[in-house]
Structure 1
């Protein structure tokens, strides 16, 4: 058993290191990050908000990143308006029961979203029907859509204003890439809106 653990430990970390190294050197990802930061900061400075949506591990990312913005990332500063659409069980179960699970995020976008807001849509496949429906609802409301998905992009690739496609087909690696990018997005938004000057 110890040999199996050691082998898998090393193999999994090697894959993660290779992925993150490749991403760190990807000029296109650098450009996309600059664009996503600009879109987010512009919205927030205009009195708009960020909405986050995803399923499973992506739901955890949605809640995590919204929390980083409302609370703090690196340092104390005023909270930023960010809402995870994954947290209200009464809304999710009501919409799921009345309209179907495909609409649990779209209905919230219809209710809470405004033109100029940002929807951050997270799906490792890029094809999650409820996330795609949320994107369609956001576009109908003239919101900006920032997507996080895997290398294929799925349906989301054509629907997002900015789409981060992690260069992997493995769900765990895609999720690791999303977490690195999401943390960076939060850190850069914080630094841009509340520069510390040091």
Structure 2
């Protein structure tokens, strides 16, 4: 179940004002841009204040798992699928002195995703892959804006059965992901805007990556960064 889309008029009211004054339209565009920037900054700040300590704890758990040979499996639908692929790419190929970590996006193999969708059903596209490849101690990392996607819920349930560390990112009030009670580290972005949710989630997973790299460095698993 996906989150409802915002009406276009609420996102870009200056397009529906009916005016023909170019200066007025440009002023409205500038103000809209400033308002959106302020909104996302405030939202990110609220997430940091509420979940900063929990993010640090999650990163510590992920670092310990990676240090023990764990692998990261990421998944999501639509825009969240591209975010899941970004998470995997970030951990796998960080560049610089950061430690590359084994990470796989469950949305990347189109043949597997379409085969499972066609032969069984779309709700199993993540759980079946985790059943085949996941093992105890690995990390399952799922992203959703609504928190209600059935295939994510099934994926997290399978990950829990296999003793995997589970990390979830959701929006709104967390939806069914919050109701599961089995996601070890759940971060909910308290917004009803899909755009603001995804922007804040990007900040969250980049922060988790940085914190995990720092934790690995402290464990002696990553060489210190070179001075410029």
**Taking structure 2 as the reference length, what is the TM-score of the superposition?**
0.80
Q: Do 2:134 and 2:159's aligned partners in 1 also have CA atoms closer than 8 Å?
A: yes
What is the RMSD computed on CA atoms of the aligned residues? 1.6
Could you say which residue in structure 1 is the equivalent of 2:209?
186
User: Which of the two has higher C-alpha Rg?
Assistant: 2
Structure-2 residue corresponding to 1:140: 161
One of 128, 136, 140 as aligned partner of 1:115: 136
CA distance in 1, matches of 2:149, 2:64: 28
Deviations 1:49-73 (A, max 9, x none): 1110111121111111111111115
- Unpaired runs of 5+ residues, structure 2, are 1-24, 217-221
Number of the residue aligned with 2:105 = 84
Question: Is the contact between residue 60 and residue 215 of structure 2 (CA under 8 Å) also seen in structure 1?
Answer: no
Q: Once the 2 structures are TM-superposed, how far is the Cα of residue 34 of structure 1 from its aligned partner? A: 1.6
1:45 aligns with 2:67: yes
Query: Could you tell me which residue of structure 1 aligns to residue 114 of structure 2?
Result: 93
Shift of 1:159: 3.0
Q: Which runs of 4+ in 1 moved over 3 A?
A: none
For structure 1, which runs of at least 5 residues remain unmatched after alignment?
A: none
**How far, CA to CA, are the matches of 2:214 and 2:38 in structure 1?**
31
Question: What SS does structure 2 have at the residue aligned with 1:155?
Answer: helix
**Contact 1:69–1:190 under 8 Å retained in 2:** no
Rounded to whole Å, the distance in 2 between the matches of 1:23 and 1:62 is 20
Deviation at 1:4, TM superposition (A): 3.3
Partner of 1:153: 174
- In the alignment, does 2:80 pair up with 1:58? yes
With 186-195 and 90-99 compared, the bigger mean Cα shift is at 186-195
Q: What does residue 167 of structure 1 align with?
A: 190
For residue 15 of structure 1, what is the aligned residue in structure 2?
Answer: 39
With the length of structure 1 as denominator, give the TM-score of the two structures: 0.92
